[in-house]
Homo-oligomer: A and B are copies of this chain.
């Protein structure tokens, strides 16, 4: 039971699209990630996913709309909804999601991470 400092954790890496786990509770994980550019279209069949933006503006693309989420804002992407996160400029974000979630759902891409480093 210690204080987890997000900036300290964010300063431990500078690659994009590779979330790190910083906390676990109730079968859920808190991850942080730096992202830039376009991710891959995917959904998660059984998991809702929360994105909380710490820095920059994330453009969350859905098949029928786009939602811009900026620092201090969050968005929940419900299970089964296809989405593609896009960051024109570098974005830092925190994710809340079930511990067993697959990074890119059933889609495989060169960006897919199979296991998450804990920091």
Interface set of A (CB-CB < 8 Å, partner B):
1-7, 22-26, 28, 30, 47-50, 60, 62, 65, 67-70, 72-78, 81, 96-98
- B48 in contact with A26 (CB, 8 Å): yes
- In the bound complex, what is the Cα–Cα distance between A49 and B117 (angstroms)? 22
Q: Are B50 and A2 in contact (CB under 8 A)?
A: no
A81 near B5 with CB under 8 A, answer no
Select one of B1, B50, B67 contacting A23, CB under 8 A.
Answer: B50
A5 to B71, CA, bound (A): 9
Q: Which residue of B lies closest to A49 (CB)?
A: B25
A85 CB to closest chain B CB, in angstroms? 13
Is A67 a contact of B6 with CB atoms below 8 Å? no
